[in-house]
Structure 1
């Protein structure tokens, strides 16, 4: 059986560690990335102390598991090259040999990134919390100009790539002014090298992968940041639920959907602005993060108690999960003050469930955001056994426990 992994929070719950553990037994045919792009930051620490922050390569790469970047990915060849260099330094001799890229994947360029940063800077105090890497700009441009948006496949044709890059640069410059980005010819040369280094594929490749053995679909970011169900406008331009994984499997002729694993921490975190009802600044000092911190564009790394209301909303948005991975179980013994929030006080009312609507209504989601910005925790508990408590609250068994960066325990989440 295939497996799909998503984060049921705002990101940073430990998807990378979960995917790496699933690949550790070497029974996984490939990791398929099905949303996001170079802004992902999936930290994996191996038992021998090697650490890599996976952005575009799948988190099973250190175990030799191939990665396929699907058409739902936003691919940044420049960031990919830097990631490949770091993987080589960690002992992966030929990272690109483990990588295939769908030709229809959107291409993230320095022009997208420069435009992204200009727009975010112009928002001032109303920043959305962008990563500043151009992924949202890439998605927006592709929606506005679907025929002209550059794709990974365009990198194999220098004339076509040059035309699309010049058009992209000129449109964004007309809209925003001069962009802090390299000349088009330099970008085209680097992107051409990317096309020479990786295997560019079409839809038949995923069909072969599906028939070849169990796959792990690795999501990016978190469901609470979903473009349609997250707390707008502090969201991503990406569908962060299982939807794209389900679509890819259906298109590839898989007999059924993947087994769904939702990942949560024993405490809820988010990067940057937006609702975080259970935030308690003192917890950040008690639970330092070696791989997370203040981001120039995202803003502060914010720490709070386990938010059962928000995580249950994420489960409902996804249509349910089959199993849970609970990470950072080493935190409650180090910080006994950690608790679970079961209900909010909003405008004098107790709220224990957030409403879930059909995708597409951003006004509804913005209204929900305004409500959550005025919410306060109202109902608490301190669990005797965190996996049992979290499983009961979110309606699925905890099949994987993580007690530290390199200590993951599987209790039934095998693939195959």
Structure 2
């Protein structure tokens, strides 16, 4: 058995969902579960089925269109029961009636509440023109609250009504103290009832459940957002409150006995970024000419931005993750149709050529903020992009094993599948 960890090597939106869907639907080995290992309801992993059905997966694994594939939300997930119920309803409308039946949630996973969400929006609004960028879903507030409050609500609390209500009331009171006059929020009693219903409907499990999943069959670990947004290695403060590298998945694997997994990095044939922050290869012409049907300007995220392939940023992502075993490149149909895409081989920063960014140890946000300030002044040094696949293999020193020329699993070409089909 070989498990796979899927992580985005950019700023997100590279196509993790369509890659996970392919691994589950058509990959070289059967997959029986998808494990989410970071982020929460802010994830937006778009999957288009061959029959045209489209769903933006947030908390359910992106393999859910494949019958029988389970989803497990690990303890590193920030679980939003209300958003999860809404997503399950959307999946039922698309002909997937059993998504909740195939779901398990670790009891230690933090809960995102309407109070976290309201605090998130109030804080981001207060920043005015200096917004950091946010999905407005309360993810950062959930993580920050848990760091300073030992009684932060967790999934297991949904099975203990008195404790659940007490902890929800504490979050509500914290929100009101932090943001007097903020947007209205639901009553604690109503929120507690909804969360208790979630606890009754969904199977809440301990850490040993994942260990059994890993022993039973192949598992895909599905990451959210991108390495360049990582809470410790991203370009602070334009980052997420989540570890977006392979680290959380590898921790879960180590706890289960140190099972092996393939580190699969995902990127587009060109670069994108959603919202504010440094983006050295941004090209307004590409932004105008390459609209994305599933990504646009959002009230909280801001604009969807497009640029050229960035070797410097990709090397940095490789370095802070410790390297990748294999790569999936998406949107190659776009690269095939255009001759004007470029590859940034270095940055010009104050007249100095820089082809590699320093990848220090996690934990020094002052260093990351200083790096951000440098990147804000950087200018790209371009060469033509004749062959995106060859360029990516050279930059990342890893093979491209999956090429995606469209949104469905049928639009993928894979060396993995060819290898698995070969005589042994």
TM-score bin, normalised by smaller chain:
over 0.9
Partner in structure 1 of residue 394 of structure 2: 392
Q: Secondary structure at the match of 2:347?
A: strand
* CA distance in structure 1 between the partners assigned to 2:283 and 2:9 by the alignment: 20
Q: TM-score, normalising length from structure 2?
A: 0.95
Partner in structure 2 of residue 15 of structure 1: 16
* CA distance in structure 2 between the partners assigned to 1:382 and 1:399 by the alignment: 23
Q: Secondary structure at the match of 1:173?
A: helix
Q: Shift in Å at residue 287 of structure 1?
A: 1.1
Query: Which of 128, 144, 148 is the aligned partner of 1:144?
Result: 148
* CA distance in structure 2 between the partners assigned to 1:255 and 1:59 by the alignment: 22
Q: Shift in Å at residue 386 of structure 1?
A: 1.7
Q: Secondary structure at the match of 1:221?
A: strand
Name whichever of 62-71 and 325-334 sits farther off: 325-334
* CA distance in structure 1 between the partners assigned to 2:309 and 2:135 by the alignment: 24
Q: Shift in Å at residue 385 of structure 1?
A: 2.3
Name whichever of 200-209 and 171-180 sits farther off: 171-180
* CA distance in structure 2 between the partners assigned to 1:255 and 1:316 by the alignment: 23
Query: Which of 230, 245, 253 is the aligned partner of 1:226?
Result: 230
Q: Shift in Å at residue 46 of structure 1?
A: 1.1
**CA offsets per residue over residues 11-67 of structure 1, 9 Å max, x none?**
000000000100014711210000000000000011111100000000000002100
Q: Trace 1:99-178 onto structure 2 (pairs within 5 A).
A: 99-145=103-149, 147-178=150-181
Q: Secondary structure at the match of 2:65?
A: helix
Residue 275 (str. 1) matches residue 278 (str. 2): yes
* CA distance in structure 1 between the partners assigned to 2:213 and 2:228 by the alignment: 30
Given that residues 264 and 326 in structure 2 are in contact (C-alpha distance below 8 angstroms), is that contact kept between their aligned partners in structure 1? yes
Query: Which of 246, 251, 267 is the aligned partner of 2:250?
Result: 246
Given that residues 341 and 385 in structure 2 are in contact (C-alpha distance below 8 angstroms), is that contact kept between their aligned partners in structure 1? no
**CA offsets per residue over residues 167-219 of structure 1, 9 Å max, x none?**
11112211221442111111111111111111000011011011101110000
Query: Which of 300, 303, 311 is the aligned partner of 2:303?
Result: 300
Q: Shift in Å at residue 384 of structure 1?
A: 2.8
Q: Secondary structure at the match of 2:5?
A: strand
Partner in structure 2 of residue 291 of structure 1: 294
* CA distance in structure 1 between the partners assigned to 2:344 and 2:174 by the alignment: 47
Query: Where does structure 1 lack aligned partners over 5 or more consecutive residues?
Result: none
**CA offsets per residue over residues 255-294 of structure 1, 9 Å max, x none?**
33x1100001011101100000000111022211100000
Query: Which of 358, 361, 373 is the aligned partner of 1:358?
Result: 361
Partner in structure 1 of residue 6 of structure 2: 5
Residue 70 (str. 1) matches residue 74 (str. 2): yes
Query: Where does structure 2 lack aligned partners over 5 or more consecutive residues?
Result: none
Q: TM-score, normalising length from structure 1?
A: 0.97
* CA distance in structure 1 between the partners assigned to 2:20 and 2:57 by the alignment: 11
Q: Secondary structure at the match of 1:132?
A: coil
* CA distance in structure 2 between the partners assigned to 1:119 and 1:54 by the alignment: 26
**CA offsets per residue over residues 84-114 of structure 1, 9 Å max, x none?**
0111111112110110000000000000000
Given that residues 314 and 395 in structure 2 are in contact (C-alpha distance below 8 angstroms), is that contact kept between their aligned partners in structure 1? no
Query: Which of 177, 182, 187 is the aligned partner of 1:183?
Result: 187
Q: Secondary structure at the match of 1:62?
A: coil
Given that residues 223 and 240 in structure 1 are in contact (C-alpha distance below 8 angstroms), is that contact kept between their aligned partners in structure 2? yes
Query: Which of 386, 389, 407 is the aligned partner of 1:405?
Result: 407
Q: Secondary structure at the match of 1:167?
A: helix
Residue 81 (str. 1) matches residue 82 (str. 2): no
| Alignment: residue pair count | 413
Q: Shift in Å at residue 138 of structure 1?
A: 0.1
Partner in structure 2 of residue 51 of structure 1: 54
Q: Secondary structure at the match of 1:227?
A: coil
Query: Which of 266, 276, 281 is the aligned partner of 1:263?
Result: 266
Q: Shift in Å at residue 310 of structure 1?
A: 0.5
Q: Secondary structure at the match of 2:308?
A: strand
Q: Secondary structure at the match of 1:330?
A: helix
